Amino acid sequence: MLVAAAITGGAGTATAQGFAVNEHGSCAMGRSGTGVAAPCRDGSAMFFNPAGLAGSIGWTFSGGVTLIAAGGSFTDDLTGTVTDLANDPIPVPHGYLSYGINDRFAAGVGVFVPYGLGTKWPDTFEGRFNGYDNDLKSIYVQPTLAYQVHPKVSVGAGFDLVFGSVKLTQRVDLSEFPVPGLGGLTFASLGIPFHTDAADAQLNGSATGFGGHVGVLLQPTDRVSVGVRYMTRVKLDYSGTVDFEPAATAVLPPGNPLAGPLGLDPTQPLPLSAVLDGQFAATGAFADQGVKTAITLPDQLAAGIAFRATDALTVLADYQWINFKTFDTLPINFQKTTTPDREVIENYKATHAARFGFDWATSDRLTLRAGYLYHTAAAPPQTVTPLLPEGKRNELTVGLGYAVSRAVRADLAYQYIRQQDRRGRVREGPGAQAPTEALNSGLYEFFAHLVGATFTVSF
């Protein structure tokens, strides 16, 4: 049961929040991610709308990275203690290679990361028993074809090969651990306080999955275009290991009944490390072992419209729906039969986003961009935890594009995320009990600065 408790909370929460990433090209990022109806000509149409790949002739290569610098804190209701998020900046890469065979047919391959997260808290934080150093990546490799079936209609589709990896790190609570040889009594019955560190548990796993992506682009007039795209859900069956390292530092008082069976002097204080050493052996509760879990990355639907107000100015608006209902429960299956399998209840819901942006070509070389977006939260109130305390967000973006030459272009973008403060928890309920809002014990704050750069070469 301890092994199950050591990782299920972390695994469940790390994969359960609205962790979609939409910054897959600095051109689109500068205009708040709008691109369904008028994708940028840097190959990023493979994500924003595969149909937009049609119409370009010759080779186009682009690559770049978005650097996400997240900050935030948790304020405890009872003590008023403020703990700051300790994230390092997280790079999210993207790359595209496409070839326009003629003005109607194009093919390409893109690499992007539409789902991922990373959260890091101090290992002294009260929420370390939920998770304090966690990382989730889902890298999509998408071969794509696009065809203009009519001067005003283009279609596109891609096959997604998805490589997933997960790392979850948390502490095991000694107070909830059964005392060896005492008939199931826990260390709490011996006076060990709640949230006493017993072990450091780290889960690492990887998986491969498959999906698809389709899009349609319509241009009813010379100044208006409309687009729709749909990316399918992808199931990832992770296989990995959970590793334990000793972390117990507590000492039991003299006269403890455990001293005799261990061959120690009962008149001396008893270090808990002596009691727990055997649990890290191959047959112990803290034995390293294999583990399996499954995550279904949500499907998403986006629709947009673009209006070319003048020859230089384009105004864009997108709506995006992401079906985080696919993360309803999380199964955890352990290699050892002595460790019971678990199912964690999350009950996430779909998110909705509204995006607005503009693209203004001030000259043949320079383009200025800006945008605003708002999206709802995926996590219900009872499952907001340290792994990623997400919530409703308002975001502002600015960007610019500069044509270095006829063949080379550079795009830069900046994005600020301000999340609404949200109440959450730093502990689990007893046993397999589903979490409730009654466990929420403080306030999470979150913000982030994103900087993106993309370089494009056409030939």
- In this structure, the strands spanning 90-100 and 82-84 are unpaired
Report how far residue 363's alpha carbon sits from residue 102's, in angstroms, rounded to the nearest whole number.
28
Residue 445 near residue 409 (C-beta atoms within 8 A): no
Q: State the Cα–Cα distance between residues 304 and 37, nearest whole angstrom.
A: 5
* Radius of gyration of the chain, Cα coordinates, nearest whole angstrom: 26
Strands (E), 77-120: 82-84, 90-100, 105-120
Q: φ and ψ at 380, to 5 degrees?
A: -70, 165
CA distance 348 to 381: 10
Q: DSSP alpha helices (H): ranges in 233-314? A: 272-276
- Looking at this protein, which amino acid is placed at residue 282? A
Residue boundaries of the structural domains of the chain = 2-458
Q: Taking the model in full, what pTM does it have?
A: 0.88
The CATH H-level superfamily of 2-458 is: Outer membrane protein transport protein (OMPP1/FadL/TodX) (2.40.160.60)
Q: Are 127 and 119 in contact (CB under 8 A)?
A: no
Task: Give the CA-trace dihedral at 37, 218, 309, 25, to 10 degrees.
Answer: 20
DSSP 299: P
DSSP 8-state class, residue 273: H
pLDDT for res 450: 95
The H helix count followed by the E strand count for the chain is: 4, 22
- In the chain, which stretches have pLDDT less than 50? 1-17
Buried b (16+ CB within 10 A) or exposed e, 316-339: bbbebbbbbebbeebebebeeeeb
| Token pair listed for 10 | 């972390």
